[in-house]
Structure 1
């Protein structure tokens, strides 16, 4: 006997699922690779531009471009969900790309370090809007059963592109100098990302309406203030995810700014620095193809806790050693741990959020997560200037371990394959 079709489904061709929406899903995977590549152009060469071309002696000043990026991206994330619900996902995605178009040109031609800082403020808007929309739209398309897979594929594309681009920019810099040749990649990414978003992407708000209409219990109207408090503090799962996301990107912000300077202080060539800087995000990106779906089967909590502790081990190993081989192992561990954590955290937030306000809850989570870039770069820079680069790395490693403990204590595991909407996450904060 065939399954009955509801009047809503028969009248609406929109369907949820990866198979049903694979052309748009694949397009969004490709676009997010270009989004990630925009960050990848900076991972190897920009800290070295500050130290070598602009002769900046203070580590805190060198990493200031990451601070501007992190703060602006955090607030762009915070408003992205509101804009997505008000304007539609596609418009916000296109806006993100339009803001990002000048970034590679500003980096190539920057006459002073302030231009680099300004370029990274624009890059923060680009990443906050464009990356947020690619992940939200994928979650919209697949529905509740495959969120981990959707997030894993999204983050795979983005961070593999970060890693590949970090390697390529290191190679190009070793052959042609730090500027402008390595940054030409960013020009291509920006043009292609903007063109595909404008010409081929379709909005996914109808998919959200379909999921919401089929939900067993409708959520009461809930304002942004309530969502912010719920995601940040009041719901224990959302709190645990938000603090872990912040610390995850805190150590990523530290590694972005400190690692090239740390490796260069031992005389490592820029091409080998580029290799180390590529291994971490490439490992992170590739393994998310597996860790995202595993979080759907095994649950989120175990992967998050173990992942934070594996990251901490990689950071401790890097800061405590002085040889390329050990740094390579440390970068691999950091990539493995982050792959365990990243898609699991986004999926955990999605589990605990009603479809009608999921985009806004994810935007709050991403606000806290990407504020970690600024906090990590600033704190690591201050520690490095006072106590040395190794001390900065080890301090962030300890904080990462503690964050894993917080998740172990506060997060409640959901049953594999279920959606956590029965309690606080399905009503306004009291």
Structure 2
């Protein structure tokens, strides 16, 4: 919605400014409500900065390399998340929980804001793309007319089949992610694994998820988006099946399932973003991508809540099975 009034670079810089208080609040917060406030600011920061980097890369590369561009962007983000987790863990071990680990965020904010000052806006690239897109014929939905955010939200969420399918697949993918983050540590702990082994399992997953998006994005440009989305969801389902089938050897089950989940998610992530970019007109593409990311990322929260409900009611094994079935069923809508 904001992209209709402001340029990408303006929103990118604003996002970094809004995030400036976050590391300092986390480092010296006197109460839990300060932590909540910091998370609100962090959410706005991430929404603006990450969304604008995605949109700017898509503006720059054109339709033929969107998969690779989004794969590079997502890979950089998620590999950095993993590396930062390792770094903050080291700092917490040696210097305590506060303030040293949190102040690393101040370094990142300064770097992000400084680099954003050097970045050129992509408005000219977007204008060129708009000029090259033909005007729609009468009655085809007026796709070149800039619709309201409400209209774009509806089109991306349910009216347009392709955009709806991408939003649904993104939500299910992150629903699975939220479920596994909550369930896997408990599941493998119940079968005898210690903290170090569980940490290894949870570390392998995001590492492969991040790095794997670069070749996956390139592949999405070569063979299309749908094959990668369907394959990725099926690979995730197979990984969950391995987790259940090999529980008598929990470390092997955990590592193999983490590898499968990481590779499966890597196939899905850049392909879905590129798919939304393909089907949304550049006049309203940023709003469409924002809507898609809303549905995708709300899957984290829904997955975490669902994990708790299912695990309490039916047990951990049944919860993993439910995730598996969801992944398989979703391939039909992709």
TM-score (norm 2): 0.87
What is the SS of the residue equivalent to 1:87?
coil
Question: In the alignment, is the contact (CA less than 8 A) between 2:205 and 2:259 conserved in 1?
Answer: yes
Structure 1 residues 91, 271: CA separation in 2 closer, same or farther (over 3 Å shift)?
farther
Question: Within 5 A, what are the aligned runs for 1:22-41?
Answer: none
User: Deviations for 1:1-55, whole angstroms, at most 9, x for unmatched residues?
Assistant: xxxxxxxxxxxxxxxxxxxxxxxxxxxxxxxxxxxxxxxxxxxxxxxxxxxxxxx
Q: How far does residue 282 in structure 1 lie from its aligned partner after superposition?
A: 1.5
- What corresponds to 2:13 in structure 1? 94
Answer yes or no: is the 8 Å Cα contact 1:284–1:336 preserved in 2.
yes
1:174–1:270 CA contact under 8 A, matched in 2: no
Task: Give the Å deviation of 1:254.
Answer: 2.7
- Within-5 A mapping of 1:400-415: 400-407=327-334
Cα 1:272/1:193, change in 2 over 3 Å: farther
Q: Does 1:379 align with 2:297?
A: no
Partner of 1:225: 150
* Stretches of structure 2 lacking an aligned partner (at least 5 in a row): 137-143
Listed one character per residue, the Cα deviations across residues 248-299 of structure 1 (whole Å, up to 9, x for unaligned) are 1112223344444555566655554443332212111111111111111101
5 Å-filtered alignment, 1:300-319, equals 300-318=225-243
Measure the CA separation in 2 of the matches of 1:87 and 1:247: 32
Q: CA RMSD in A?
A: 2.5
Shift in CA distance, 236/382, structure 1 to aligned 2, threshold 3 Å: same
For 1:392 and 1:118, the matched residues in 2 are separated by 32
Match status 1:122 vs 2:122? no
Q: Please tell me whether residue 200 in structure 1 is matched to residue 118 in structure 2.
A: yes
Aligned pairs for 1:269-280 (under 5 A) are 270-280=195-205
| 1:15-414 pair list within 5 angstroms | 82-110=1-29, 114-173=33-92, 179-197=98-116, 199-217=117-135, 219-263=144-188, 268=193, 270-318=195-243, 321=247, 323-407=250-334
- Preserved contact between residue 153 and residue 289 of structure 1 (Cα < 8 Å): yes
Q: Residue deviations 1:75-122, cap 9 Å, x none?
A: xxxxxxx21231111121122222223333444445655544443332
Q: CA separation in 2, counterparts of 1:115 and 1:271?
A: 31
391-400 or 255-264: which moved more?
Answer: 255-264
**Number of aligned positions between the proteins:** 325
Contact 1:170-1:273 within 8 A present in 2 as well: no
Task: Give the TM-score of the pair, scaled to structure 1.
Answer: 0.69
User: Aligned partners of 2:127, 2:133: CA distance in 1, in Å?
Assistant: 10
Greater Cα offset, 206-215 or 221-230: 221-230
CA distance in 2 between counterparts of 1:337 and 1:236 reads 23
> Is the contact between residue 162 and residue 278 of structure 1 (CA under 8 Å) also seen in structure 2?
no
SS of equivalent to 1:222: coil
Question: 1-side partners of 2:323 and 2:33: how far apart?
Answer: 27
Change (3 A) 1:145 1:129: same
Unaligned 5+ residue runs, structure 1? 1-81, 408-430
